[in-house]
Amino acid sequence: MARLVLLRVGLGLFIALSIVALLPFSVAAQTGRDDRALGESGLPLPRFVAISENMANVRRGPGEDYPLLYQYQRKGLPLEVVAEYEQWRQVRDHEGSEGWMHARLLRNGRHVIIRQAANALPLRNGASAGAGVVALLQSGAIARLRECAGSWCEIEAEGYRGWLQRDNLWGVYAFEQLD
């Protein structure tokens, strides 16, 4: 009986701490405020960037002495910078893989990747579900992010420009209003 009570108290404490930890992100999403901390570079953490080269090495730690984990071969791929150490950036990709890259391999230009979906997603000529379809986008496609307003973002991909719901994009935060 005492063990059951301790488990319930522990679970309750875990849930309460989780809610408190996520509260700043929830408030930022609702208010449109950006409350992110600044990294060594003076830029907010976390933030999104894109790969600037056709090939970019990812290492286990912040330096060339650390072993190579893998290599990206996709210029423009969006990554999330989650930490900084001197000229090195700890990045996370849309699949959750993390590692360290030199800052020269990254650029601040915004790109997004189309999230996994069962079917191709309609790129629309306006920011509404009733707007005409300009093109169909496959999961994994990379697009240039142009602006976001509310739950819609304007993107450019494969020569097509249009609007897609923000929930279908990885590489933009819920609180961001870009123009």
Residue range 157-179, pLDDT digits in tens: 999 999 999 999 999 999 888 87
Residues 41 and 105 in one domain: yes
Mean pLDDT confidence for 76-91? 98
109, 141, 157 — which closes off a domain? 109
Residue range 131-159, pLDDT digits in tens: 999 999 999 999 999 999 999 999 999 99
Of the listed ranges 10-14, 86-90, 103-107, the least confidently predicted one is 10-14
The whole-angstrom separation of Cα 111 and Cα 169 is 10
Question: In this structure, are residues 160 and 175 in contact, taking their beta carbons and an 8 Å threshold?
Answer: no
In the chain, pLDDT over 70 holds for what percent of residues?
82
Band of pLDDT at residue 35, cut at 50, 70 and 90: confident
- In this predicted structure, what is the pLDDT of residue 13? 35
Residues 77 and 51 in one domain: yes
Residues 28 and 42 in one domain: no
Pairing relation of β-strands 160-165 and 169-170? unpaired
Half-sphere exposure for 106 (CA within 13 Å, toward CB): 24
* 3-class state of residue 28 by DSSP: helix
Is the residue at 139 inside a domain? Answer: yes
Residues 130 and 158 in one domain: yes
Average pLDDT, the chain: 86
Token pair 């800052």 in the structure block, residue = 103
pTM higher than 0.85, yes or no?
A: no
CATH assignment of the domain containing 148: 2.30.30.40
Residues 123 and 140 in one domain: yes
Q: State how far the alpha carbon of 67 is from the alpha carbons of 101, 110, 120, 158, in Å.
A: 12, 28, 38, 35
71, 92, 109 — which closes off a domain? 109
The whole-angstrom separation of Cα 15 and Cα 112 is 32
Residues 70 and 117 in one domain: no
User: What is the span of the domain harbouring residue 164?
Assistant: 112-170
Residues 2 and 21 in one domain: yes
Mean pLDDT confidence for 79-84? 98
- In this predicted structure, what is the pLDDT of residue 7? 38
Is the residue at 178 inside a domain? Answer: no
Is the residue at 142 inside a domain? Answer: yes
Question: In this structure, are residues 135 and 125 in contact, taking their beta carbons and an 8 Å threshold?
Answer: no
Residues 84 and 54 in one domain: yes
